């Protein structure tokens, strides 16, 4: 975890340095930068991509991590050029879905994070995770938790839930995972602290011993907080790492690409993995010129292909090959004045 944590700090520092350095290259930066908004979960990676692309190509793109649903709203009201969502188009209530295209841009995993100073790491089954977040299990000394953690002396602490109070793609993704175990799952309402954003989950959890929450795993790694080891479909317990996240996507096909991360049968897979999706209109005429439409399309292609070559340098898993092929197929839908852009 120390290596990953260091990588993340380096990536953030590098992104800041690159963005600052490119301010001087005004001759190559468009007068009006492209704008994107959306999910907080892949924001650490997205910002490193934007910094690298700005350095290599000279195209300026701003991204605001305001949450999946705020990003989608900004896209549909023409406030941004693209949105990034933890949910694909099929899972979003958006009018005229056929007017947009979605491409996988980042691999994300949801960590179940806990604040148990007395315990180095805790194991949880899908059933336990479901019953904890639904409020059915209220103490860390519950016999069911203790039965799968027999070598650990769990503290006599009540369980405090840290949940997202904002509309969150991360929450929707975790809900989908929990409902694989319990189709009637619903969130608990007692001993709940509501926050907005992945980073806010980490900040709140650090202050409350006995708390449990969920966040994109890089936020947890960066903060050095404990992530639970979750039981996967093969009965193995794994934490989110580059290896376990990539294992969850082994065997993905174009047909299964939207669900594989929570239904992987790989014995080394972490069980809550998915993609973040870049969503943009099929018709790119809003940019006012073919050149501008091509610039944005080129960025999306670069970020889903060449840009992925740098992912593991910054502690992120790159897109699997099938996701890159899928992105190539989807990008052929983008057009300007009925002209296929790429």
pLDDT, tens only, 242-287? 999 999 999 888 888 888 888 889 999 999 999 999 999 999 998 8
Distance CA 198, CA 220 (A): 9
DSSP states of 173-212: HHHHHHHHH-TT-----SSEEEESSHHHHHHHHHTSTTEE
DSSP states of 88-153: -GGGS--TTGGGEEEEEEEEEEEEEEE--TT-S--EE-HHHHHHHHTTS--BTT-HHHHHT-TTS-
Mean pLDDT within 165-193: 92
Kindly tell me the number of DSSP H helices and DSSP E strands found in the chain. 11, 14
Q: Which of 50-54, 182-186, 230-234, 258-262 has the lowest mean pLDDT?
A: 258-262
Residues pairing with 84 in the sheet: 38, 278
Q: Do 181 and 330 reside in the same domain of the chain?
A: no
C-alpha torsion 24→26→29→31, nearest 10: 130
Q: Do 67 and 104 reside in the same domain of the chain?
A: yes
Instruction: Give the three-class secondary structure for 275.
Output: strand
Distance CA 92, CA 277 (A): 11
Q: What is the pLDDT of residue 3?
A: 45
Residue 212: closest CA among 197, 227, 231, 230: 227
Mean pLDDT within 320-342: 94
Distance CA 261, CA 276 (A): 12
Q: What is the pLDDT of residue 11?
A: 46
Report the sign of the C-alpha dihedral through residues 226, 232, 234, 235, in that order: positive
Mean pLDDT within 101-107: 95
Which residue carries 């100073």 as its tokens?
117
Last residue of a domain, one of 242, 271, 300: 271
Report the sign of the C-alpha dihedral through residues 132, 136, 140, 144, in that order: negative
Q: Do 54 and 159 reside in the same domain of the chain?
A: no
Q: Do 114 and 253 reside in the same domain of the chain?
A: yes
Q: Do 73 and 130 reside in the same domain of the chain?
A: no
CB 109 within 8 A of CB 264: no
Host domain of residue 267: 110-271
CB 269 within 8 A of CB 320: no
Mean pLDDT within 29-50: 87
Q: Do 45 and 117 reside in the same domain of the chain?
A: no
How many structural domains are present in the chain? 2
Neighbour count for residue 180 (Cβ, 10 Å):
15
Q: Give the CATH number, domain containing residue 50.
A: 3.40.190.10
Q: Do 122 and 264 reside in the same domain of the chain?
A: yes
């Amino acid at each position: 975890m120390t290596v990953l944590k260091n990588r993340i700090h380096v990536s953030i520092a590098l992104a800041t340095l690159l963005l600052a350095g490119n301010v001087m290259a005004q001759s190559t930066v468009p007068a009006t930068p492209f704008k994107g908004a959306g999910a907080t979960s892949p924001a650490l990676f997205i910002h490193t991509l934007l910094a690298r692309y700005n350095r290599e190509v000279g195209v300026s793109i701003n991204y605001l991590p305001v949450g999946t649903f705020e990003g989608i709203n900004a896209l549909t009201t023409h406030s941004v050029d693209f949105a990034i969502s933890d949910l694909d188009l099929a899972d979003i209530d958006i009018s005229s879905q056929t007017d947009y295209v979605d491409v996988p841009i980042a691999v994300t995993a949801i960590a179940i994070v806990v604040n148990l100073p007395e315990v180095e790491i805790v194991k949880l089954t899908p059933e336990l995770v479901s019953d904890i977040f639904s409020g059915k299990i209220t103490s860390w000394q519950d016999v069911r938790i203790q039965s799968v953690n027999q070598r650990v002396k769990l503290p006599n602490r009540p369980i405090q839930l840290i949940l997202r109070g904002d509309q969150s793609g991360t929450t929707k993704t975790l809900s989908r995972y929990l409902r694989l175990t319990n189709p009637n799952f619903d969130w608990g309402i007692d001993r709940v602290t509501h926050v907005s954003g992945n980073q806010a989950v980490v900040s709140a959890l650090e202050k409350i011993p006995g708390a449990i929450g969920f966040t994109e795993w890089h936020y947890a790694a960066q903060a050095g907080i404990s992530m639970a080891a979750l039981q996967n479909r093969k009965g193995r317990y794994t934490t989110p790492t580059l290896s376990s996240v990539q294992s969850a996507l082994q065997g993905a096909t174009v047909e299964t690409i939207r669900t594989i991360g929570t239904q992987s049968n790989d014995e080394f897979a972490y069980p809550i993995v998915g993609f973040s999706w870049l969503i943009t209109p099929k018709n790119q005429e809003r940019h006012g010129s073919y050149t501008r439409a091509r610039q944005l399309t080129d960025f999306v292609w670069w970020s889903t292909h060449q840009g992925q070559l740098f992912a593991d340098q910054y502690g992120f898993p790159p897109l699997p090959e099938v996701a890159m092929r899928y992105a190539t197929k989807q990008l052929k839908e983008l057009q300007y004045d009925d002209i296929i852009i790429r």
